[in-house]
Homo-oligomer: A and B are copies of this chain.
Amino acid sequence: MIIVMTAGAAAADIEKVIGKVTERGLKVHLSEGKFVTIIGVVGDKKMLQDVPLEAMSGVEKIVEITSGYKIASRQFKPENTVIDIGGVLVGGDRLVVMAGPCAVESREQLMESAVIVKKAGAQFLRGGAYKPRTSPYSFQGLEEQGLKFLAEAREATGLKVVTEVVDAQSVPVVCEYADVLQVGARNMQNFQLLKTVGKAGKPVLLKRGISATIEEWLNAAEYIMNEGNYQVILCERGIRTFETATRNTLDLSAVAVVKNACHLPVIVDPSHGTGHWKLVRPMARAAVAAGADGLMIEVHPKPDEALSDGKQSLTPENFSALMAEVDRTAKVMGRNQA
């Protein structure tokens, strides 16, 4: 951490700041420039987390040098984390694909989806039983009945189940049925939920918030890991920008940035990331080529009858074609997809 003093800060102010830092057991390096004095802080900056340095007289700004997360960082754990979900490894040599409808709508729709997804080679079935929707008048999900259908589909196909938890209260019931708990983009900084899934002991899929920096995203992972749960899969799903041609702007460079800074597996969701089925295949290929460990794809037996996000769902035929393309791309990356 570096403390930048305002131009012409009083000597007394500088000394007061130094005093605050050293009384917490940290060391300082003073660097007096022509215009500006800067104070380098050496030691564990957690000791200063409750010291409002930026509000002190004469302080211009604080520049953070190291990131706020620790357990999630590559410095803490240099090798890749591989998560074993009932025998399917996420973050390992093989690409993983999670696919299925946006929302669980009926037993029939889900079972049909599961068969399609399984046949095309995916390892996970996705589907929302609890749906967070912008308008209170939109379809809100089948809730526990939806979870039961998911579990039934798992029995029938052997697919693993990933589904969203929308609040801390529903974590226990979702844990009963799911293999992976998904925390959605809107909840990425729902800290109560993060702590609860951190204690739940199940693998967690953590979507990036629509306006979250990578640093904030990894801090959210840190909340989960800080509760003792190290099985966190990160999922890039697009950020909000000024561009309106796509629903969001899929930030594939985030995959490479995270891979450098963090040891957790990263997957990409091009369905939400683009919002249009025509863009899903090219962006799925691109995600794999960028180094993603897996994909999350919306597939629906009949997208034009879907109750949620039909516009971005693939038909069974398109999904099969995607899987073939992705498989070839994965091989270029030295990966063996199913």
* Chain A interfacial positions (CB closer than 8 Å to B): 2, 4, 7, 29-36, 38, 40, 42-44, 46, 49-50, 52, 54-57, 63, 65-66, 68-69, 75, 132-139, 166-169, 186-187, 189-193, 210-211, 213-216, 219, 222-223, 226, 239-246, 249-257, 260, 273-274, 277-279, 282-283, 285-291, 303-311, 313, 325, 328-329, 332-333
Q: How far is the CA of A171 from the CA of B50 in the complex (A)?
A: 27
Contact: A256 with B242, CB < 8 Å?
no
Q: How far is the CA of A201 from the CA of B138 in the complex (A)?
A: 24
Q: How far is the CA of A249 from the CA of B250 in the complex (A)?
A: 9
Contacts of A307 in B (CB 8 A): 50, 52
Contact: B211 with A211, CB < 8 Å?
yes
Contacts of A49 in B (CB 8 A): 135, 137-139
Contact: A242 with B240, CB < 8 Å?
yes
How close is A335's CB to chain B, nearest CB, in angstroms?
13
Contact: A257 with B246, CB < 8 Å?
yes
Q: Choose one: B46, B191, B310; the contact of A137 (CB below 8 Å).
A: B46
Q: Could you say how many copies of this chain the assembly holds?
A: 4
How close is A192's CB to chain B, nearest CB, in angstroms?
4
Contacts of A33 in B (CB 8 A): 40, 42-43, 65-66
Minimal Cβ-Cβ distance residue in B for A192: B167
Extra 19 A-B pairs, beta carbons < 8 Å, given A240-B242, A252-B252: A7-B75, A35-B75, A49-B137, A50-B138, A50-B307, A52-B310, A54-B311, A55-B304, A63-B65, A166-B192, A167-B168, A168-B168, A213-B244, A242-B242, A256-B278, A256-B279, A260-B278, A285-B333, A329-B332
Contact: A274 with B245, CB < 8 Å?
no
Contacts of A282 in B (CB 8 A): 253, 255-256, 289-291
